Homo-oligomer: A and B are copies of this chain.
Amino acid sequence: MRIVVALGGNALLKRGEAMTAENQRANVRVAAEALAPLVAGNELLISHGNGPQVGLLALQADAFPLDVLGAQTEGMIGYMIEQELGNLLPYEQPLATLLTMVQVDPDDPAFQNPSKPIGPAYDEQEARKLASEKGWTVKPDGDRWRRVVPSPLPRHVFQLQPIQWLLEKGVVVICTGGGGIPTMYDEDGKLRGAEVVIDKDFASALLAKELDADLYVMATDADAVYLDWGTPQARPLGRVTYQDLKSHEFAAGSMRPKVLAACWFAQMTGRRAAIGSLADIDAMVAGSAGTQVGPAAGEVAELFGIPLA
The verdict on A74 contacting chain B, using a C-beta distance below 8 Å, is yes
Q: Let me know if A72 and B76 touch, CB within 8 A.
A: yes
Interface hit among A115-123, A144-152, A165-173, A249-257 = A165-173
Q: Report the separation of the CA atoms of residues A171 and B169 in the bound assembly, to the nearest whole angstrom.
A: 15
Kindly list chain B residues whose C-beta atoms are within 8 Å of the C-beta of A166: 162, 165-166
Shortest beta-carbon distance from A20 to chain B in Å: 7
Q: Let me know if A97 and B98 touch, CB within 8 A.
A: yes
Sort chain A's interface into a size bin: 35 or more
Q: With contacts A21-B68, A76-B71 known, is A87 near B165, CB below 8 A?
A: no
Kindly list chain B residues whose C-beta atoms are within 8 Å of the C-beta of A87: 190-191
Contact with B along A63-106 (1 / 0, CB 8 A): 01101100111111011101100110000001111110100000
Q: With contacts A98-B97, A99-B78 known, is A62 near B162, CB below 8 A?
A: no
Contact with B along A151-164 (1 / 0, CB 8 A): 00000001101100
Q: Report the separation of the CA atoms of residues A39 and B73 in the bound assembly, to the nearest whole angstrom.
A: 28
Kindly list chain B residues whose C-beta atoms are within 8 Å of the C-beta of A169: 161-162, 165
Q: Let me know if B62 and A68 touch, CB within 8 A.
A: no
Q: Report the separation of the CA atoms of residues A86 and B65 in the bound assembly, to the nearest whole angstrom.
A: 20
Shortest beta-carbon distance from A171 to chain B in Å: 5
Q: Report the separation of the CA atoms of residues A95 and B162 in the bound assembly, to the nearest whole angstrom.
A: 8
Q: With contacts A83-B191, A99-B79 known, is A161 near B94, CB below 8 A?
A: yes
Q: Let me know if A99 and B101 touch, CB within 8 A.
A: no
Q: Let me know if A101 and B75 touch, CB within 8 A.
A: no
The verdict on A181 contacting chain B, using a C-beta distance below 8 Å, is yes
Q: Report the separation of the CA atoms of residues A123 and B94 in the bound assembly, to the nearest whole angstrom.
A: 46
Q: Which residues of A from 170 to 190 have beta carbons under 8 Å from B? A: 171, 181, 183, 190
Shortest beta-carbon distance from A102 to chain B in Å: 12
Q: Let me know if B60 and A71 touch, CB within 8 A.
A: no
Chain B: CB-nearest residue to A186: B87
Chain B: CB-nearest residue to A171: B162
Q: List 30 A-B contacts (CB under 8 A).
A: A18-B62, A20-B62, A20-B64, A21-B64, A67-B79, A71-B75, A71-B76, A71-B78, A72-B72, A74-B79, A75-B99, A82-B99, A83-B183, A83-B193, A86-B158, A86-B191, A87-B190, A87-B191, A95-B159, A95-B162, A96-B98, A96-B162, A98-B98, A99-B99, A162-B166, A162-B169, A162-B171, A165-B165, A165-B166, A165-B171
In addition to A71-B79, A87-B191, A98-B98, 15 A-B residue pairs with Cβ atoms within 8 Å of each other are A20-B64, A64-B76, A68-B76, A73-B75, A75-B76, A75-B99, A78-B99, A79-B101, A79-B181, A83-B191, A96-B159, A97-B98, A161-B171, A162-B171, A165-B171
